[in-house]
Amino acid sequence: MYISQILSKSLEENIMDKKTVLVVDDSSTICTIIKNELTEVGYEVVTAKNGIEALSYIEWMEKLPDILTLDIDMPVMGGFEVCERLLGGRDAEDEKKQKAARIPIIFVSANDTIENRRKGFKLEVIDFISKPFKRGDITRAIDKVLNPEKEFLGMRALVVDDSAGVRRMIKRLLARNGIEVFEAQNGLQALQLVENQNEPYDIVITDYFMPEMCGDELCRLLRQREDMKQVPQFFVSAFDDRDSTLDFFKAGASDYLRKPFIEEELQAKIEIHLRAKKYVNELEKLNKKLENLAVRDGLTGLFNRRYFKDELDNHYFQASRYNLELSCILLDLDFFKKINDTYGHAFGDLVLVQFAEILMKRVRKTDIPARYGGEEFVVLLPNTSIAGAVNLAEKIRVLISNHLFSDGMSSTHVHISAGISTLKIDKPENSDKLVSYADAALYIAKEGGRNRVCQYENTLSPSDH
């Protein structure tokens, strides 16, 4: 009885009016990151370090959590067993166990495999977020479940009708679904909006007969635009004779609704097309993500080693042929193993991500920053002399030394060492030598006490800065 009173007091206080997320992960760093993100957007967050602790919380909490995020691999009890235990209460006589069996579950795990996804699907896991995740990933997944009205948040609609009343009604309906609405009184005005907007629309809802330009002409012109070919175009009109309806679809309409209509009818039809467009958007994003994954490091977002090597070869060839400047900086985080051993690998990943963010802010768009391996990074600097490379490396070194790396619970300072080589001074015989010379200079920086910048200069005699 005493335990239940303590848990009730510590976990239920001030959460009755908020939606609650139970975050279950054996990494205190991950728990803190998720808790901070969700607390900022108004969720109440309770954390547990393993499955047994999570099930104990659920048993004693007066108000059940609205959703769970679960790691798969945890000591004592992992994510799959938690799911099995909760689902086992579905047919129980105890009403609370029945409700607990219906709590939505999202897996948040580094063990992202097809097998685990299939197993999770059978256990009714609703989503799977792979570690390392980016800020906002958790919130978006939870909002999708707990705030379904935000399903279309961020989507854009163009409403075209010469009746202000109709436009208001449609705008109100769309706005409730989180859709940003743009209005036009006729087809000509709508076409001008499309041409002047940088971002594409996700749906066009248009009347048929309007002054200046009718809906069918607008539809035909929009279908000719590359950025509007996949956008659903929805006609609303007082005419429903066979010939008019055929004209709508010949013009490229996706659907049609006769005026007058009720909001529920319009809502049901629009949602079908918005979900289809959202699916198309997600496919496009996935294609871009797959393209990005081919050239980017999954943790830091910097270019990967393979992409860097391709760019290195290209820039070396161009610089050698046209006698251009080309420099290379190789950077390494000092005593990084000690950071992992002291604070854990999740904190080590945080250090790598924050280092990459600082690096990205200092390089130019024409530079090529990449994760070369582990805690080693490289930056290729086209049209940059040794002086420019040394100046950049020193700025990065100072910025990193002054930056406090923190996850809200643990914090530390980190230092880096850097080695620099340059094409005109060091005259490497091939692109690989440019990097190996920078690596040799980095070795000297390490041997010389770390937290310093050294340049190759052929003779391997360092210039410390």
Q: Does domain 2-146 have CATH number 2.120.10.70?
A: no
Q: Using the predicted structure, report yes or no on whether residue 380 has a pLDDT greater than 70.
A: yes
119 contacts: CB under 8 Å, gap ≥ 6: 80
Cβ(456)–Cβ(418) below 8 Å: no
The pTM for the full model equals 0.46
Distance CA 292, CA 370 (A): 13
Question: HSE on the CB side for 304, CA within 13 Å?
Answer: 10
pLDDT tens, position by position, 115-172? 888 788 678 787 889 999 999 999 988 887 787 566 788 889 999 998 887 887 788 7
pLDDT tens, position by position, 235-280? 888 776 777 777 778 888 888 887 766 565 777 788 888 888 888 8
Distance CA 244, CA 389 (A): 68
Cβ(365)–Cβ(407) below 8 Å: no
How confident is the model over 197-215, as a mean pLDDT? 87
Place of tokens 């490379």: 389
C-alpha distances (whole Å) from 365 to each of 75, 241, 368, 381, 385 are 45, 57, 8, 10, 17
How confident is the model over 173-202, as a mean pLDDT? 87
Q: Using the predicted structure, report yes or no on whether residue 76 has a pLDDT greater than 60.
A: yes
Same fold, 2-146 and 305-455: no
How confident is the model over 49-71, as a mean pLDDT? 93
How confident is the model over 402-410, as a mean pLDDT? 94
Mean pLDDT of the chain: 87
Domain ranges in the chain are 2-146, 156-291, 305-455
pLDDT at residue 1, rounded to an integer = 41
Candidate list 37, 44, 325, 375, residue with the active-site label: 375
pLDDT tens, position by position, 17-36? 689 999 999 999 999 999 99
How confident is the model over 221-234, as a mean pLDDT? 86
pLDDT at residue 177, rounded to an integer = 77
Cβ(418)–Cβ(444) below 8 Å: no
- In CATH terms, the fold of domain 156-291 is Rossmann fold (3.40.50)
Structure tokens at 185: 């009184």
| Angle at alpha carbon of residue 453, lines to 452 and 459, rounded to 5° | 125
Distance CA 421, CA 411 (A): 33
Looking at per-residue pLDDT, the higher value among 198 and 434 belongs to 434
Task: Indicate the SS3 state at residue 57.
Answer: helix
Amino acid identity for residue 11 in this structure: L
- The answer to whether residue 375 is catalytic is yes
Residue 465 pLDDT class (50, 70, 90 cuts): very low
pLDDT > 90: percent of the chain: 55
Cβ(202)–Cβ(281) below 8 Å: yes
Structure tokens at 418: 């850097």
Q: Which CATH class is domain 305-455?
A: alpha beta
Cβ(103)–Cβ(56) below 8 Å: no
Distance CA 360, CA 363 (A): 6
Residue 179 pLDDT class (50, 70, 90 cuts): confident
pLDDT at residue 223, rounded to an integer = 87
